[in-house]
Structure 1
Amino acid sequence: MKIKAKSDTLFKLKPKLSNELSATEKVFVKNGTEFEIEYYVDVGSNHWQIELLESAVGDSKITSWYIFRPDFELKTPITLKVVSDTLFKLEPKLSSELTDIQKIFVKNGTQFEVASYLPAASNHTRLALANATLGPNRLNSWYAYTPDIKLQGDRQELKVVSDTLFKAEPTLSSELSAADKIFVKNGTVFELSSYGAIEKNHVRVALQGAFLGPGNRNTWYAYAPDIQISGNIPGNRPNDQNSAGSGSSSQPANPVNPTNPVNPANPVNLGKAMRFPGFDGLYYTNNPIIWTTAYGERGHFTWGEATHGGTRIPENQDVVYGMIRVAKALEDIRYRFGGRPMSINSWYRPPAVNAAVGGASQSRHLAGDAADFVISGYHPYDVFDKLDAWWGNKGGLASASVFTHIDTRGYRARWSYGY
């Protein structure tokens, strides 16, 4: 990550007003100076604690400093352009519902760099501005009405949400040497190059421009409950449409149990027959995946929806179990939204299909445990807003303007597709 001073300012050894510090506790930084940082921690009172990639402040050899956030911009590849006179708001509400200090006018054509953005209620986008602080309190976090802005570019962040250890291996810290683990403070934010699947409740992460520990490692395993990942993978713009219809209460009965498939005594339009690797018997596209939901209902989502009408056969057993996990999540979502009809845009995607439709190279759709869906009568951003806290750290949640994504990866990830 890179930061740039927007005015003559100071690096400080404590997050205090400069007049409260001695001359040895602060260093002058000239307007326009840029620094590479490994990470930052928001410590409140408009201050960040930063770790410089290398010592580059006067004669000082110190790399850990505090900065006054409004005096700096965070350089990012995400740009925002305002395409219509609008208001930035402190809540995603109608402007008439907000006081004057809760909104600020932003003129058509204004441009910002953005650190991150996520879907928000009522077709708003939650923004973390990278190069500006607005309003009387000099804030960088705002909501904007999505049709009034245009976003380009992507980046990913990892935020530590509990004091933790990054590890060289996904194992207990007591089994590792001191050189193979490093303490990371709650609230620390890194830029991510990439991250992998969960392994022994750890996530393998590749940090961008951060080299930690005595070995200057940038690849670590992080304990999944202690981290949050946000931001879209660059180039992740999937465009896939399911041919199997919608998941609704009109699906036929007699679902197939994947570990003991049974055919109904009186079959009625079972659809296409399929065989799955590692399982005996036939599976039919019109049969629900879940026999009976947790709410005592017949399952609503079919093998046909999961397999794109029977054209995408799972490559192995793990994919089938992934389909079952996300089917259970979809049943929960359907119940939470009062049984409204849900249509599936995309579910399982084999590697060639995933590449063809523009999916991310590590997409959870490859594992079968992700689905893109639409709920009748709800904007996808409202779906995201309603599900965010509920889904917690069970997996990924994201929205585009035309669908919502959910997956069961086992740790918290949030993003907007930006379209």
Structure 2
Amino acid sequence: MRSSQFFMPTLRENPSEAQIVSHRLMLRAGMVRQASSGIYSWLPLGFKVLKKIEQIVREEQDRAGCQELLMPTIQSADLWRESGRYDDYGKEMLRITDRHDREMLYGPTNEELITEIFRNSAKSYRDVPKMLYHIQWKFRDEVRPRFGVMRGREFLMKDAYSFDLDAAGARRAYNKMFVSYLRTFARMGLQAIPMAADTGPIGGDLSHEFIILADTGESAVFCDRSFIERDVLSLDIDYDSDLEPLVKQWTTDYAATDEKHDAARFGALPKDRQVEARGIEVGHIFYFGTKYSEPLKAQVQTQDGQTISVHMGSYGIGVSRLVGAIIEASHDDKGIVWPESVAPFKVGLVNLKAGDAATTPMADDLYARLTRAGVEVLYDDRDVRAGEKFAQMDLIGLPYQVVIGPRGAAKGEVEFKTRKTGAVEEISAEAALNKLASRQGA
């Protein structure tokens, strides 16, 4: 994509309404624009990141054995009355009456609807276990939406649901999602720490939040340094095996939010292993047994002829929230620093002197070759000052920058910059192409 054609309305100054880093940088980088309080339009740059995150979530859900479907945003109030949650949920639920005076709602979550789908389709023990998920927009009418996409009213969420015959089967599903979440966040360049959590309005008695450390996090967290040092992606995970030992490895060492903090237990850790920081929740998993299957009559017949309510769990990831969370965890004083896996483009190609007889043919040729090699590239071909080009590239945070100027072009060389480290090297255009092409899929 050429910058001269790309719709990316960047801002030079920090917007006054933005209180946290991710909100400021997303507005300045032209990723989003507010449509109304807590509701955002996703512009091309932000939408590309959103889709990258969504695809990683989808791949890891599929890997764990989940099957994707799509449920509607608007749900019937009758279902929520069956579960007993319609009147209990509070003003965060946007209630709607259609033209036939039927009471509806804009779904804040989907436990009721997925349970209805299951109860109308599954009758026998042969129909379980099942894990189903979708990635869909949700709405919760927050009393004070703030922090941009981190605490908005409309948001994109992945929610998965498991159905099992008994508590043991439900625990196996829970463990699969636990491990899947570790992999999902690691692929995004995040070290997510699982912490025991309250179940809140979802219900149940087993729950974990997945927290990433960030200076601007919402809550205080306390953990053993071992979590920061673990490499999830190197683990050889077989989802058909018993994952309980692996889950225990991740839940034995100390990790707690301020609500669950045990000062004495934390204090017993060696000082060099105590980490006290701020954290952002990026995922939450729950086991809640028959909380929804009993009132909604989601039942199956067992092998010996008994009719039982299935055991359920739910598993959420805030997909749109993750865009802000990644920025909170990965930025510097110049702008965003995207991990490669979620970056909107892998490389920014900068022609320092648009129209120049040496730089332009060289930049055009490298752009064409990168594109043919499948490398996502944003080519700054605009006729503007070099300083403006450098500032914009640092702001939007692409993993690599390739800069072509008159002196380098005369030697057949480019400047190759790694955004995360700031390291710059002068190499041939061919070498730059090879470095970028070899990192496809990284």
TM-score of Structure 1 vs Structure 2, range by shorter chain: under 0.3
TM-score by length of 2: 0.22
Q: Which has the higher helix share?
A: 2
Q: Which has the higher strand share?
A: 1
Higher relative contact order at CA 8 Å, sep ≥6: structure 1 or structure 2? 2
